[in-house]
Amino acid sequence: MEKHLNHRDYVRFVSGELTEDEVNIFVEKLINISGERVLKALPSVIDFLVKQTSYIKELSTDFYAKNKDLVEHKDLVAHIIEQVESDNPGKKYEEILAKVAPEARKKLSHTYNVKNEDAFSLDKTNEDLGAL
């Protein structure tokens, strides 16, 4: 079987001039050529993904080494990273991480203040109910 598609067959395919057998042969060639191209591209794609994953892991390790207080709040940090990424498309990951720590601390500060206030009011309500 030929390793390439010729222009004439493509034009005949698009215009509907091929017989059923010719269409099957054309589609089979197309699938084989596409498959070969994908297989040839896979090593470079995998190499890129491995390097990118390693780079992100290194950035994450450095981030938490510099921001030890956020280690226990990785879910919040991940959520903020997603927000910052969506608000800043095209920014480098290092630039995104630079914005994350202050925002995480701000949210944690607000969350703990609210939780402490809620706990206080609930304790007070429980004391009031206990007196009944």
- Tell me: the pLDDT tens digits for 46-91? 999 999 999 999 999 999 999 999 999 999 999 999 999 999 999 9
- 3-class DSSP state for residue 6? coil
Burial label, 6 (beta-carbon count in 10 A; 0-12, 13-18, 19+):
exposed
| 129 vs 65, more confident | 65
Crossing angle between the packed helical segments 93-130 and 74-87, to the nearest 10 degrees: 130
Per-residue pLDDT band at 112 (split at 50, 70, 90): low
- Percentage of residues in the chain having pLDDT higher than 90: 48
Q: Give pLDDT, residue 114.
A: 46
Q: Give pLDDT, residue 74.
A: 93
Q: Give pLDDT, residue 125.
A: 43
User: Among positive and negative, which fits the CA dihedral 107, 113, 116, 119?
Assistant: negative
Q: Looking at the chain, list the stretches that DSSP marks H as alpha helix, in order from N- to C-terminal side.
A: 7-15, 20-66, 74-87, 93-130
Q: Model's pTM, two decimal places? A: 0.57
Q: Give pLDDT, residue 119.
A: 42
Task: Report the pLDDT averaged over residues 90-118.
Answer: 80
Q: Give pLDDT, residue 121.
A: 42
Which residue in 20, 21, 23 sits closest to 9, CA to CA?
23
| Mean of pLDDT over the chain | 82
- Is residue 118 pLDDT above 80, yes or no? no
- Angstrom CA distances, 82 to 23, 32, 35, 108, stand at 47, 39, 34, 17
| 107 vs 118, more confident | 107
